Amino acid sequence: MEKMARVTTALGGNTITGRTMFCHLDAPANAISVCRDAAQVVVAGRNIFKIYSIDEDQFVEKLNLRVGRKPSLNFSCADVVWHQMDENLLATAATNGVVVTWNLGKPSRNKQDQLFTEHKRTVNKVCFHPTEVYMLLSGSQDGYMKCFDLRKKDSVSTFSGQSESVRDVQFSIRDYFTFAATFENGNVQLWDIRRPDRYERMFTAHNGPVFCCDWHLEDRYVFRFDIRRFFLRIAKYWNRLPRELVESLSLEKLYIAAGPLPTDTTGEGRCMSCLMLSAWALNYAPETSFLMLLPWLTDSGNNLTLPLLPSFSPWGQVAQTWTMLRIIYSSPGTVPSANLNHSLGKGSTSLPLMNSFNLKDIPPGIGNESRLERSKGESRSENILMDSSSTLINNDENEETEGSDVPADYLLGDVEGDEDELYMMDHENPHAEEQEYILPQEAFPLRHEIVDNPSALDHLQEKADSPHVSGNEAETVSLTPVESFSLISISHSLYENRLPTDFFNPIVRDMLLFYAEQGDVQMAVSVLIVLGDRIRKEIDEQTQEHWYTSYIDLLQRFQLWNISNEVIKLSTCRAINCLNQASTTLHINCSNCKRPMSNKGWICDRCRQCASMCAVCHHVVKGLFVWCQGCSHGGHLQHIMKWLETSSHCPAGCGHLCEYT
Amino acid sequence: MFVARSIAADHRDLIHDVSFDFHGRRMATCSSDQSVKVWDKSENGDWHCTASWKTHSGSVWRVTWAHPEFGQVLASCSFDRTAVVWEEIVGESNDKLRGQSHWVKRTTLVDSRTSVTDVKFAPKHMGLMLATCSADGVVRIYEAPDVMNLSQWSLQHEISCKLSCSCISWNPSSSRAHSPMIAVGSDDNSPNILAKVQIYEYNENTRKYAKAETLMTVTDPVHDIAFAPNLGRSFHILAVATKDVRIFTLKPIRKELTSSGGLTKFEIQIVAQFDNHNSQVWRVSWNITGTVLASSGDDGCVRLWKANYMDNWKCTGILKGNGSPVNGSSQQGMFNASLGSANTSLQNSLNGSAAGRKQS
């Protein structure tokens, strides 16, 4: 990464403006860290180690920490961390295995304070204890983690992971003694600092190396990043990313991404903005993983974003997909403000929602999954998803509420549940996001003014005011609820009126194809129905027909005839629509001569006798006519019913034992 | 977690096949005692035998249901070289009171010279068609042009496979982009014939079935073969039961020409091969969404296979023949818990045999 950029959001009223600034660094940087009040940022890399101050509109280099005539290897840093309590304390992890602490208060030019040369290989990560000033943890490529007390000369304890290289270590905010370590073989271990001989827990998080992890602030959840697989996919598209987008992408992830990213020819490849997030509730199955998507990854026609969306666990991502669709296709004008106020509900802002969000209550993965299983045939699955997600908002209730039935003609933006779903996304996002997650604001031209998410604006307002609270280092910090902001709101702000609504059509089409290839035809058909004409022309008729036919077949297996009929009625494909039109005529034969009757009157043309005579009263039946399917005799409903109370033989006298259902 | 229920089948000999109907509420079993039994599921989930009758003069190998839009129709095939189509008759109040339904033989297909080893109805969108395969290596496709008259079946195609066939499977995809396809598996033991799975596709131009692909990698006798239900996928998944469980994907290679122009070329890949059974695998069966595969083997266990998000197939459950789970199956406790909610519906939707052979 050659550039460093920062985006600020300043809010005035309902508009969001942002600033992007960047500066050129002389050399690639591996890590950055901000100080406690976010006025300064330290940048560390192989050949660079500087402190910049973050001014109103530019970065100003304040200090170059690489001093000395002979640049030693100690300056080549893989990681840097600024202590959140002590303004002057920095620690770096060097590629030669050395952990260096720096004291900025020193009068001499060389601010180096202490040197710990205990690791045998590159130190990948250093991490200060959130509350203890003197405790420092380091993780190294040699597979060991060491805890240092800065008051002493040597390390206090060594933790051996018995695994491959340690890629990340992170203290837990909540537990004083706990830290997490992630490894190259995909394992994640939890350690207690008091017990260096073995880990407390270990589980396999990913198939590949786990490069970064983070703790949720309130609960004991750890989030893992394994973006290796991602970047292999992103790599293809880098050349096509617009220049402005690339330049303004935020930096924190670069640090994470630096390792596995394949470099592409332009050198812009290091920038990334797409995260895969694997949410690991320690009590829940690994399956509850979902994907954080930053919508401004795309450019025109670039199929970058949404296909990556559903790469992992199905349930959380389906909810995400609907949110994305809503963002893409709904224009704020259609959302009445009354809707919003109502759905905000819990308070004047949605901050309380954030604060009290508890992932443990209703994990989106499990909740959605069980609902989907139960309501497999529901073509309105999106409502169900939203309803279950809206229960997340109910901070006080731990049980899932059966979501209200959303009206059948669900249109984007008209349903109240929508808002809740948006806020559900908010909940997921902050946990992924880091403290100083500076999103580019002008990566894309703004699509529209934000009128439908006032609460989101509030978040951003707060964020601009106090961007840093006592959190951890920039790279791996998790947001406090107050600071968290809605990713969705950011995404809104990026779109201006200039973007046509079908800008994302190719992406949505790819997303649908992706779901179909996975066999999730319900998703594909639901989206087709909901989006209707907007997406209809993107997918060829044959494929649409195939999806509809398969879905209707599936519904019929479960004997959900009404739903299947609704799907037929609402489908966008002509071949399917006409399924309802088949067999809609009834031919009536004269009961006497058995020849088809004309549609005029009650007299049969051929035999000149009255048709449909009641077997009981021998008059023409002009109202409800019921007949036995066995002998085809029948009559007025009332008469037959009365007859059957007494005798089960046919009233016409044919001797048949009539059966009426 | 799986709930297994044991049903006393009362067959007097080996049960060779079990088949669920389209909705999963009726079941048919066939046995070496030459009879077929039909079971209905009651409201509280119990299975009751509602019909049991002698169908053939030899062991009945397979039984299969037709789509309910044609009525309640069964087909069975047997060692006595015939395949028979049965229909259930509604009415007959006497039997109804006793809870027995009445099945009537509609037609007997006697073209084969050797034991008929498999019979399968074609997907519903092809009309009322069925295919049989026999030990002399001929696959016959019959069609009933009038769905109201089940006694008239005409032989439409005869495909000569040159290998003694043991199993066939129709490709259930209803997409118009996919032409009708049958996979044929062979349990031929002769050493000079290697490839045991053949795929035949209907060619619109010649109006015949022609061999589209041969799976060269399957060289052991094939006991069962099954296409996965295709709910919107552009490619096909085929499961083969031989000495191990194998799963293949067949991706049609796009041709510039549209439907005309002959057979589709496929890119065949093996995506999974499991020998966890450590013995011959006798049956494979897919669930209705085509996401979970069940296999049964000579080790007396039923194994379930599922693909994760990275398209890696893994075993997600093991059941012993008596229904008890095997402890090794739960990989992590959490993993099974998340499957738990899906299981009851999975159980219902397991079409086909869960256990290849059951002792009565």
pLDDT one-digit tens code per residue, A245-265? 333 333 333 322 222 223 333
A373 interfaces chain B, CB cutoff of 8 Å:
yes
Q: When comparing pLDDT for A451 and A501, which is higher?
A: A501
pLDDT band at A215 (very low <50, low <70, confident <90, very high): low
- The mean per-residue pLDDT over the stretch B186-190 comes to 85
How many other C-beta atoms lie within 10 A of the C-beta of residue A424? Answer: 27
- Residue-level pLDDT at B185: 93
Whole-angstrom Cα distance, residue A208 to residue B310? 12
Q: When comparing pLDDT for A465 and A112, which is higher?
A: A112
d(CA B55, nearest CA chain A) in Å:
28
pLDDT band at A486 (very low <50, low <70, confident <90, very high): very low
The full length of chain A comes to 661
- Residue-level pLDDT at B76: 96
- Please tell me which residue of chain A has the smallest CA distance to B177: A542
Residues in chain A within 8 Å Cβ distance of B341: 366, 369-370, 373-374
Three-state secondary structure string covering A313-364: CHHHHHHHHHHHHHHHHCCHHHCCHHHHHHHHCCCCCCHHHHHCCCCCCCCH
With contact defined as beta carbons under 8 Å apart, do A368 and A383 qualify?
no
Chain segment A142-177, per-residue pLDDT in tens = 888 888 888 888 888 888 877 788 888 888 777 788
User: Does residue A308 surpass a pLDDT of 50?
Assistant: no
Are the beta carbons of A550 and B234 separated by less than 8 Å?
A: no
Reference A328, options A351, A353, A309, A349; nearest CA is: A309
Backbone phi, psi, residue B342, to 5°: -85, -10
* The dihedral sign for the CA sequence B10, B14, B20, B21: negative
A376 interfaces chain B, CB cutoff of 8 Å:
yes
- The mean per-residue pLDDT over the stretch A512-540 comes to 84
Residues in chain A within 8 Å Cβ distance of B230: 550
Q: What are the b/e assignments for A263-287, b being 16+ CB within 10 Å?
A: eeeeebbbbbbbbbbbbbbbebbbb
Please report where in the chains the tokens 């549940």 appear, as a residue. Answer: A417
Interface mutation target, options A206, A277, A318, A553, chain B, most CBs of B under 10 Å: A553
Window from A312-321, A547-556, B9-18 with minimum mean pLDDT: A312-321
d(CA B234, nearest CA chain A) in Å:
7
Residues in chain A within 8 Å Cβ distance of B124: 553
d(CA A205, nearest CA chain B) in Å:
13
Backbone phi, psi, residue A291, to 5°: -120, 130
Q: Where are the alpha helices (DSSP H) in A191-311?
A: 228-234, 243-248, 252-257, 305-308
Please report where in the chains the tokens 């580019």 appear, as a residue. Answer: A440
How many CA atoms within 13 Å lie on the side-chain side of A441? Answer: 18
Whole-angstrom Cα distance, residue A649 to residue A626? 15
- Structural element, H or E, at residue A528: helix A521-531
Whole-angstrom Cα distance, residue A616 to residue A95? 101
- Write the CA distances from A458 to A15, A211, A237, A240, B57, integer angstroms: 11, 33, 34, 34, 81
- The mean per-residue pLDDT over the stretch A580-586 comes to 73
Number of H helices, E strands in chain B: 2, 24
Are the beta carbons of B310 and A524 separated by less than 8 Å?
A: no
With contact defined as beta carbons under 8 Å apart, do A187 and A210 qualify?
yes
Chain segment A364-421, per-residue pLDDT in tens = 333 343 343 333 333 343 443 343 333 333 333 333 333 333 333 344 443 333 344 4
SS3 category, A547: helix
DSSP, residue by residue, A121-184: S-EEEEEE-SS-SSEEEEEETTSEEEEEETTSSSEEEEEE-SSS-EEEEEE-SS-SSEEEEEET
Two structure tokens written together for A384: 């169900």
DSSP, residue by residue, A445-509: ---S---S-HHHHHHHHHHHH----S---STT----TTT---HHHHHHHT--TTS-GGGGHHHHH
- Please tell me which residue of chain A has the smallest CA distance to B335: A285
Whole-angstrom Cα distance, residue B94 to residue B142? 35
Whole-angstrom Cα distance, residue B133 to residue B116? 6
Chain segment A601-617, per-residue pLDDT in tens = 667 766 666 667 788 88
* Interfacial residues of B (vs A; Cβ cutoff 8 Å): 22-24, 91, 93, 124-125, 173-177, 229-235, 288-291, 309-310, 332, 334-335, 337-338, 341-342, 345, 349
- Write the CA distances from A169 to A182, A338, A545, B233, integer angstroms: 7, 47, 51, 42
Nearest to B230 among A312, A550, A558 (CB): A550
d(CA B175, nearest CA chain A) in Å:
5
Residues 524-583 of A with CB under 8 A from B: 524, 542-543, 545-547, 549-551, 553-554, 556-559
A516 interfaces chain B, CB cutoff of 8 Å:
yes
Please report where in the chains the tokens 């949605």 appear, as a residue. Answer: A350
Are the beta carbons of B176 and A630 separated by less than 8 Å?
A: no
Reference A464, options A184, A54, A32; nearest CA is: A54
- Residue-level pLDDT at A47: 83
User: Does residue B167 surpass a pLDDT of 90?
Assistant: yes
- Structural element, H or E, at residue A367: helix A364-374
User: Does residue A432 surpass a pLDDT of 60?
Assistant: no
With contact defined as beta carbons under 8 Å apart, do A104 and A80 qualify?
no
Interface size A-B, in CB pairs within 8 Å, comes to 95
Are the beta carbons of A542 and B332 separated by less than 8 Å?
A: no
Nearest to A546 among B174, B288, B341 (CB): B174
Radius of gyration of chain A (CA): 33
Are the beta carbons of B23 and A550 separated by less than 8 Å?
A: no
With contact defined as beta carbons under 8 Å apart, do A5 and A59 qualify?
no
- Residue-level pLDDT at B61: 95
Two structure tokens written together for A383: 């409502």
Are the beta carbons of B233 and A287 separated by less than 8 Å?
A: no
- Write the CA distances from A502 to A308, A321, A445, B79, integer angstroms: 19, 16, 15, 61
Please report where in the chains the tokens 């039997």 appear, as a residue. Answer: B95
- Please tell me which residue of chain B has the smallest CA distance to A558: B23
- Residue-level pLDDT at A24: 78
User: Does residue B140 surpass a pLDDT of 70?
Assistant: yes
- The mean per-residue pLDDT over the stretch A81-95 comes to 85
Are the beta carbons of A376 and B93 separated by less than 8 Å?
A: no
Edge-to-edge strand list for the sheet holding B15-20: B15-20, B26-31, B35-41, B47-54
Residues in chain A within 8 Å Cβ distance of B23: 557-559
